[in-house]
Amino acid sequence: MGRAKALVVWGTGSGVGKSLFAAGLLRHFKRLGLEAAPFKAQNMANHARVVRGGEMASAQWLQALAAGVEPEVRMNPVLVKPFGERGAQVVVWGKVDPFLSGLPWKERRPHLEAPVREALEGLLAEYDLLVLEGAGSPVERNLWPDLPNLRVAEWADAKALLVADVDQGGALGALYGTWALLGEHRKRLIGFAFNKFRGDLELLKPAYALLRDWTGLPVLGTLPLLPLALPEEDGFRYRQPAGNGPKVALLRYPHAANLDEFWPLSELAQVVYAHSPEEAEGAWLLILPGSRLPARDLPWLRAFLPLIQRHLEAGKPVLAVCGGAEMLSEALLDEEGVEERGHFPGLGLLPYRVRMAREKTVERRRVRLRGLSGYWGRLEGLEVEGYEIHHGQGLPLFHQEGSLLATWLHGLLENPGVQKALFGREARGLEEGLEALADALERHLDLRALHRALGLTGRVFPASPTGAKAPDVDPPPPPGLVLLLGGAKSGKSRFAQRLAGPFATLIATAEARDEEMAEKIRRHQEERPPTWETLEEPLDLPGALKRARHPTVVVDCLTLWVANLMERGLDPLLEARRFLSAVEESGKRVIAVSNEVGMGIVPQNPFARRYRDLLGQVNALLAEAAQEAYLLVAGRALPLGGGKVPAQEAKRPGSHGGEPGPGRSRDPGP
Active site residues: 322, 410
Which among 357, 284, 303, 367 is positioned nearest to 326, based on CA atoms? 357
Burial 578-604 (b: 16+ CB within 10 A, else e): ebbebbeebebbbbbbbbbbeeeeeee
Helix (H, G, I), strand (E, B) or coil at 483: strand
CA quadruple 137, 141, 147, 152: dihedral, nearest 10: 70
Q: Which residues lie across from 628 on neighbouring strands?
A: 482
Q: Where are the beta strands (DSSP E) in 612-659?
A: 628-633, 636-640
Please say whether the beta carbons of 68 and 131 come within 8 A: no
Q: How far apart are CA 318 and CA 406, in angstroms?
A: 8
Helix (H, G, I), strand (E, B) or coil at 645: coil
Give the CA distances from residue 515 to residues 391, 520, 536, in Å, rounded to whole numbers and listed in that order: 73, 9, 18
Pinpoint the alpha helices (H) of 447-571. 448-453, 492-500, 515-527, 541-547, 558-567
Residues contacting 1, CB < 8 A, separation 6+: 125, 126, 128
Please say whether the beta carbons of 196 and 17 come within 8 A: yes
Give the CA distances from residue 564 to residues 1, 261, 468, 585, 658, in Å, rounded to whole numbers and listed in that order: 46, 70, 56, 24, 37
283: left (phi over 0), alpha (psi -120 to 50) or beta: beta
Q: Peptide bond preceding 322: is omega within 30 degrees of 0, i.e. cis? A: no
Q: How far apart are CA 496 and CA 478, in angstroms?
A: 15
CB atoms within 10 A of CB 472: 12
Please say whether the beta carbons of 72 and 52 come within 8 A: yes
DSSP code, position 240: P
Would you say how long the chain is, in residues?
A: 670
Q: How far apart are CA 453 and CA 447, in angstroms?
A: 10
CB neighbour class for 82 (10 Å; exposed up to 12, middle 13-18, buried from 19)? middle
DSSP code, position 603: P
Q: How far apart are CA 574 and CA 521, in angstroms?
A: 27
- Between vectors from CA 506 to CA 500 and to CA 509, what angle results, nearest 5°? 135
Output the CA torsion sign for 560, 561, 567, 571: negative
Give the CA distances from residue 65 to residues 38, 79, 596, in Å, rounded to whole numbers and listed in that order: 10, 19, 58
